[in-house]
Amino acid sequence: MLSFVPLAGVLSAALFAGFGRCAPSSSSSSQSDALGVRGPGSCHTPSNRACWSTGFDINTDYDTNTPAGTLRTFNWEVTEHDNWTGPDGRVKSKVMLVNNQYPGPTLTADWGDTVVINIKNSLRLNGTSFHWHGIRQFRTNIMDGTNGVTECPIPPGTTKTYKFRLTQYGTTWYHSHFSAQYGNGVVGAFVINGPASLPYDIDLGPYPINDYYLKTADEIVLDTQRSPAPPPSDNILFNGTNINPAGSGGAYSRITLTPGKRHRLRLINPSAEHNYQVSIVGHDMTVIATDLVPVNSYTTNSVFLGVGQRLDVTIDASKTPGNYWMNVSLPASGLCGSSLNPAPAAILHYSSVPNGIPTNPGTPPPDSGCRDSLNYVPIVQRQVSLSQFTPGLQNTLDVTVDTSPLVFWKINGTSIDVDWDRPVLDYVLQGNTSYPASENVVIVNQKDVWTFWVIENLSIVPHPIHLHGHDYLVLGASATGAGTFTAADKASLKSANPTRRDVSMLPGNGWLVLAFKADNPGNWLLHCHIAWHISGGMSVDFLERVSEQKAQISSADLKAYNNNCAAWRNYFDHSGLHKIDSGL
Ligand SMILES: *[C@@H]1O[C@H](CO)[C@@H](O)[C@H](O)[C@H]1NC(C)=O
Ligand SMILES: *[C@@H]1O[C@H](CO)[C@@H](O)[C@H](O)[C@H]1NC(C)=O
Ligand SMILES: *[C@@H]1O[C@H](CO)[C@@H](O)[C@H](O)[C@H]1NC(C)=O
Ligand SMILES: *[C@@H]1O[C@H](CO)[C@@H](O)[C@H](O)[C@H]1NC(C)=O
Ligand SMILES: *[C@@H]1O[C@H](CO)[C@@H](O)[C@H](O)[C@H]1NC(C)=O
Ligand SMILES: *[C@@H]1O[C@H](CO)[C@@H](O)[C@H](O)[C@H]1NC(C)=O
Ligand SMILES: CC(=O)N[C@H]1CO[C@H](CO)[C@@H](O)[C@@H]1O
Ligand SMILES: [Cu+2]
């Protein structure tokens, strides 16, 4: 884990810190800091996290400016394990792990770096494919890792290389997009160091909090095909660990705070299903980034994280030194997840006192009703003109669910069902516009304009809606039960620098209106991030600027793509195995 050496107490220095441009200095973006990490210039200090390197700081428009970076290579192997004793002390019949770790290794790099990740698939039967959640993949759609869309799955026994540039910075994660495989453990954190909107002393690193099941993801997929009600989780893990609620093992996650210092914690929700609220007894959190978008600091006593979302927060160790609970609470409706752990928690421990079990239970935060906050204000601003938004059939995507004979989640009347053997990219490369209905494509041809989308929920279940290849503007979301979007609702939308991120909640029986700019040719999924829902078909595929896609693929990437597809077809078509869900 990376942590910056605390050079100065920022709790007082914070008063003087603005978002000022970096002063010119002789440092370059390849300079080393005290820990030997390449990237930040000498200006990126605890009292001035807003600065990164000469010419690059928190105000830099990262969609158009990227610092020079370095090349970093990672070699990972995905393996399968039976009767694996998990972190909460109980045995799982099967897991799939990256480099034998759960969660998988953290991918750490700097803003502007190019990363190369070689994935060796050593699973027994399953293919795999690695998606880099929230990464813009600017003009590198072929590296998006969505099998059946941008690539064929990687067959067992082979290696595939992903290579892309990090134009954004902050906290994200990666996961398999091969059916619900990430629920078996093929998941990890992804940290891109860069400037921050608030000074802090210590970076505590990524902190995933996720639902955890003793059944395999493959078993739960079958269960949720028969009945749409998801199973309760067996536990909720904090940073990969917890005691188990049966009291038969495991250990609490302990976060160590240094008294008097400000800490940055990178919260990630890599769950299969749970959307939850996080609070810390006696302590506020200050949000400084929503997904990969830095925001004006926003102090609150609890935060909501839907599946796939990240919030970078700072925590001041300014209270009486002691041990404090960090709690997760699920909405009382049960529609956003339920757990057999009735009081999931971790411990915040001040380093100046002995470890211990906290005694103050604190007060539960208000029930979020499974709605996320739209109060976050991005530092690099975007705005749209609502006069360019005419709600209608051409931009409305309705979500419905069929429950008989099996459960299918649909968007715009169709459950996506990708063809692992023939990704959508094949059609694009061949100039074949006869896309099968089962690919659920939505054509976006206009160049560099803002496109507006109304997602309407015709189900009572809230859904975390994720878009690949773009951060989107959250123009508005209704109250729960508000029904469909009407012309009158347009007046309630926020068009001037609204919250921007890559996952936002669609309220139950309500609507979500979002906008993204058609500035990145590619095939990009918009899907519910509940593993059981996308497995059941809840996705569309935006075919963005199809005519420009082929030209942006290098001949080496094209060759690797075709070789991998040939190897996959050779494997799967003779394996006797069958795809049992959408494939995503
Ligand atoms: C896993 O444990 C089960 C039940 O104890 C046993 O039947 C099975 O053979 C074990 N599998 C392996 C691969 O060890
Ligand atoms: C994936 O692996 C699991 C566990 O071995 C197996 O049950 C399942 O059939 C496999 N699915 C595919 C499509 O390969
Ligand atoms: C999370 O776990 C990792 C691996 O055990 C550890 O290195 C890291 O310090 C933990 N993070 C926090 C914030 O405690
Ligand atoms: C926090 O978790 C602890 C341990 O499970 C529990 O005793 C306490 O009631 C919880 N507090 C809140 C506010 O949820
Ligand atoms: C285009 O794809 C469709 C569906 O796979 C196929 O039937 C058709 O033959 C293809 N057209 C051409 C010209 O290759
Ligand atoms: C929804 O599907 C219909 C065909 O069933 C199609 O005509 C329409 O364009 C689709 N909507 C969008 C927004 O693509
Ligand atoms: C707003 C809206 O259309 N709500 C619908 C949600 O879905 C249920 C069941 O499909 C319908 O009964 C509601 O009318
Ligand atoms: Cu969903």
Domain shared by 138 and 118, yes or no? yes
- Which residue among 389, 412, 451, 456 has the greatest number of ligand 6 atoms within 8 angstroms of its CB, and so is best to mutate? 412
Specify the residue for token string 């996961």. Answer: 175
* Total structural domains within the chain: 2
From atom 14 of ligand 2, which residue's Cα is the shortest distance away? Answer: 126
256 located within any domain: no
Same domain, 543 and 560: no
Contacts of 529 (CB under 8 A, 6+ apart): 306, 307, 308, 463, 464, 465, 466, 503
Together in a domain, 579 and 453: no
Mention every residue, 6+ apart, whose C-beta is less than 8 A from residue 519: 63, 447, 448, 470
Ligand nearest to the CA of 431: 5
CB atoms within 10 A of CB 513: 27
Question: What gap in Å lies between CA 86 and CA 107, rounded to an integer?
Answer: 22
In a domain, 512, yes or no: yes
Ligand 1 pocket mutation pick from 83, 84, 124 by most atoms within 8 angstroms of CB: 83
Report residue 154 as tokens: 């990687």
Q: Which atom of ligand 1 is nearest to the CA of 83?
A: 1
Least distant ligand from the CA of 508: 7
Residues with CB under 6 A from ligand 3: 1, 204-205, 207, 239, 255
Q: Which domain holds residue 431?
A: 396-553
> Does residue 540 lie within any of the structural domains?
yes
Asked if the structure places residue 529 within a domain, the reply is yes
Same-domain status, 571 and 463: no
Distance 239 CA to ligand 3 centre (A): 6
Give the tens place of pLDDT for each residue, 419-469: 999 999 999 999 999 999 999 999 999 999 999 999 998 889 999 999 999
544 and 401 assigned to the same domain: yes
With respect to residue 280, please indicate whether it lies within any of the assigned structural domains.
no
Whose C-alpha lies nearest to ligand 6, atom 10?
412
CB of residue 432 inside a 6 A radius of ligand 5: yes
Which of these, 398, 517, 503, 392, lies nearest to 451 by C-alpha position? 517
CATH of the domain at 113: 2.60.40.420
Residue 508 to residue 463: CA distance in whole angstroms: 8
The pLDDT value given to residue 10: 41
* pLDDT of 233: 98
User: Do 449 and 571 have their domain in common?
Assistant: no
Q: What is the DSSP letter of 575?
A: T
Whether 479 is in the pocket of ligand 7, judged by its Cβ within 6 Å, is no
The structure's pTM equals 0.93
Report CA(254)–ligand 3 centroid distance (Å).
8
pLDDT on residue 108:
98
The atom of ligand 3 lying closest to the CA of 1 is 7
Same-domain pairing of 572 and 443: no
Check residue 236 and give its pLDDT: 98
User: Residue 436 in 3-state DSSP?
Assistant: coil
Give pLDDT tens digits for 49-105. Answer: 999 999 999 999 999 999 999 999 999 999 999 999 999 999 999 999 999 999 999
The number of CA neighbours under 13 Å toward the Cβ of 410 is 14
Question: In this structure, what token pair is assigned to residue 420?
Answer: 């692992």
Whole-number Å distance, alpha carbon 329 to ligand 4 midpoint, is 9
Instruction: Report residues of the chain scoring pLDDT below 70.
Output: 1-40
Q: Is 17 contained in some domain?
A: no
* pLDDT tens sequence across 64-78: 999 999 999 999 999
User: At residue 350, what is the residue type?
Assistant: Y
574 shares a domain with 439: no
Closest CA to 131 of 102, 112, 158, 104: 104
Q: Which residues contact 12 (CB under 8 A, 6 or more apart)?
A: none
Q: How far is the CA of 522 from the centre of ligand 6 (A)?
A: 19
| Per-residue confidence (pLDDT) for residue 20, from 0 to 100 | 40
Q: Which atom of ligand 1 is nearest to the CA of 93?
A: 1
pLDDT at site 39: 58
**Does the residue 561 lie in any domain?**
yes
Residue whose CA lies nearest to ligand 6 atom number 3: 412
The whole-number pLDDT of residue 459 equals 87
Instruction: Classify the C-alpha dihedral 209-210-213-217 as positive or negative.
Output: negative
Digit-coded pLDDT (tens) for 246-288: 888 999 999 999 999 999 999 999 999 999 999 999 999 999 9
CB 298 within 8 A of CB 379: no
CA distances from 75 to 173, 284, 383 (A): 17, 39, 40
**Same structural domain for residues 446 and 537?**
yes
Give, using CA atoms, the residue closest to atom 6 of ligand 3: 1
Alpha-carbon torsion (125, 130, 133, 139), positive or negative: negative
Same domain, yes or no: 477 and 567: no
Residue nearest (by alpha carbon) to ligand 5 atom 13: 432
3-state SS record for 222-268: HHHHHCCCCCCECEEEECCECECCCCCCECCCEEEECCCCEEEEEEE
CA of 385 to the centre of ligand 3 (A): 44
Token pair for residue 106?
């953290």
What's the pLDDT at 42? 81
- Same domain as 535, residue 454: yes
Q: Quick check: is 232 in a domain?
A: no
Question: Which residues are CB-neighbours of 487 under 8 A, at least 6 positions away?
Answer: 391
- Nearest ligand to the CA atom of 486: 7
Percent of the chain scoring above 70 in pLDDT: 93
Whether the bond between 103 and the residue before it is cis, its omega within 30 degrees of 0, is yes
Q: Is the CB of 82 under 6 A from ligand 1?
A: yes
Nearest CA to ligand 7 atom 14: 458
Same domain, 567 and 462: no
Ligand 6 site, residue 442, Cβ cutoff 6 A: yes
